[in-house]
Amino acid sequence: MNPIYFTVTGTNYYYGNEYFKPEIKLRLIKEPDNKADKEAIRVELEGLGKVGYVANSPHSVIGDSYSAGRLYDKIGDAAEGKVLYVLPQGVLCTLVQGEEGEKPSLPRNAMRPKK
């Protein structure tokens, strides 16, 4: 199975890039009701909550990354990713994939911060 890469952007609106390190797990959550982007995919870190979004613009996608639009139909309502590189222009990550032909998916409450 070929790796699927994606870029996390918008981190400066939340906690910045300091908390991202290689191998850290991320939670990806679709936001179908997002008024700005119908294909928005929110990115969360355990204990912090929302830390950014999957890039959905040719100007913000790094290298061979999938945009949120390309990734949207390849995952369930929620999925898991892993940080590869932290770069000045964004955080390059890879999708944690399941069995061949299966959409990567997590239960909605997996990796949710406790309140």
Looking at residue 110, its pLDDT comes to 46
- 80 forms beta bridges with 27
How do the domains of the chain map onto residue ranges?
5-95
Q: What is the pTM of this model?
A: 0.83
pLDDT at 114 (0 to 100) = 42
Q: What tens-digit pLDDT sequence spans the chain (115 residues)?
A: 789 999 999 999 999 888 899 999 999 999 999 999 999 999 999 999 999 999 998 889 999 999 999 999 999 999 999 999 999 889 999 999 865 444 555 444 444 444 4
pLDDT in the model for residue 1: 77
Per-residue pLDDT at 109: 47
- E-strand ranges in 1-115 read 5-9, 25-30, 41-45, 49-54, 78-87, 90-95
Query: CB count, 10 Å around CB of 12?
Result: 9
What is the b/e burial string over 37-56, where b = at least 16 CB atoms within 10 angstroms of the residue's CB? eebbbbbbbeeeebbbbbbb
Place of tokens 């870190």: 45
Please state, in angstroms and rounded to a whole number, the distance separating the CA atoms of residues 81 and 95.
Answer: 4
CATH 3.20.20.70 given to domain 5-95: no
